[in-house]
Amino acid sequence: MESVWTEDTEIRRREPLPGDREVPAVVIGAGLAGILTAYYLQKEGIRTVVLEADRIGSGQTKNTTAKITSQHNLIYSRLIRTFGRRMAEHYASANETAIGEYERLIREKGIRCDFARCPAYLYTQTRPELLKQETEAAASLGIQATFGTGCELPFPVTGVTRFQGQARFHPLKFLAGMAEEVEVYEQTKVLKVEGRRVETARGTVTAEHIVFASHYPFLNVPGWYFARMHQERSYVLALEGAERLEGMYLGIDQGGLSFRSSGDLLLLGGGGHRTGVSRKDGAGQGYMLLRGRAEEIYPGCRETAHWSAQDCVTLDGLPFIGRFSRCRPCWYVATGFGKWGMTTAMVSARILTALIGGRECPEGDIFSPGRRFTAQAAKGLAVHGAYTVKGLAKHLLPSGDREIVPNCPHMGCRLEWNPEEESYDCPCHGSRFRREGRLIDGPAQTDCRRKEEGRG
């Protein structure tokens, strides 16, 4: 099922790339990060074209809950401990600035996208001491953060952290408006990137600067992003008959939920898990979990829509924004946004524009793909590596008489069947395929055709 954002918004179609081009900059991917990056580069006087394999906004932008916030779960106390106060301030400042920049653009261009300032809350039913620490850390970095014990949620909590001056909006209405400002070619899938050449089936674009804003970088080397990230699924229900909330909420406890109103609907999110890995304890996940919780919290509510999203998660939980690799100085990347793609899309556009324009960008240090390797990253690498080894090992097992399960064409990991979404999902790097083998998304570049016993 499609998200509520797609129900009332259709972005104007663009033609495919008409042939070879030579431009100063090319952006791969026409989601929010790609369109905003192209817009700011154009404002700097750097002609930019955007190449999109499908349609503008057809990727993860349409599946968001559309929160524009600097409140990214329990992050600021960890950033101060791990990277120091200066880099933590850069993270806070970049995200707070992004909120204001959205508001400025929307007002300047008269984009009607339901933008509204509102508070964002973290809540807990069991660990108020963690929220107190996070509140203190965020406030020390200049964020308007306060701790309390009461909120508008219809169940008891033991603590909430409130971030003032956050925002929400309609992402596709905003994207439609901004896409009118840039040169986009749809149905133009990038097949290969070598040096300054971006090859597609429609022609080749030669550029001084190449930006990968395609959610997950599809090249394995250089950069090795497949080893530095994994992907996670998350789920959303749109509910009618549930109480409208002034603020946006996210639970920090295990199984915590996300709440956010949109018009007369309440968007209830949660049930997330690593792509290609399902729970084995029978507790349910995804839509099953959310529907049960919706009935508990809002008896009699009605589901009007449901959808899911896929997020790239880095080893240390921070995005990769900056130069793609030391050996490719003219390549740039924006990926690993976690659950915070709306704010981070704006952060990416501003950082990448500064780098390409040759300007100083102090805030880029905390997001740099070349930042130092932390203990959390080391732990994440061990976990991620274990899933990859397991997936590759399954690929090598004999299938016997049972149905042959397809392997991911990205790196050969055995795919897992996702019954709720009727897709084959890769537990290694997150590529997903329809039942018949058509690629949905992920780092894989080709379809996965299933083979049956006795056939080639």
Whole-number Cα distances in Å, 214 to 52, 74, 219, 312, 431: 8, 27, 11, 11, 13
Whole-number Cα distances in Å, 246 to 237, 303, 313: 18, 20, 29
Residue with tokens 């030579």: 22
| Model pLDDT, residue 279 | 58
Going by C-alpha positions, the residue among 230, 219, 215 that lies closest to residue 413 is 230
| Model pLDDT, residue 394 | 64
Backbone dihedral angles phi then psi of residue 327, each to the nearest 5 degrees: -90, 0
| Model pLDDT, residue 11 | 96
Going by C-alpha positions, the residue among 70, 74, 69, 73 that lies closest to residue 133 is 74
Residue ranges of the chain whose pLDDT lies below 50: 281-283, 399-402, 451-456
**AA identity, residue 262:** S
| Model pLDDT, residue 122 | 98
Q: Torsion angle, CA of 392/191/231/101, rounded to 10 degrees?
A: 160
Half-sphere exposure of 55 (CA within 13 A, CB side): 11
Mark 335-358 as b/e (b = at least 16 C-beta within 10 Å). bbbbbbbbbbbbbbbbbbbbbbee
| Model pLDDT, residue 452 | 37
71: left (phi over 0), alpha (psi -120 to 50) or beta: beta
Going by C-alpha positions, the residue among 117, 78, 61 that lies closest to residue 340 is 61
Residues 6 or more apart whose CB falls under 8 angstroms from that of 63 comprise 3, 236, 307, 308, 309, 310
- What's the distance, Cα to Cα, between the start and end of the chain in Å? 34
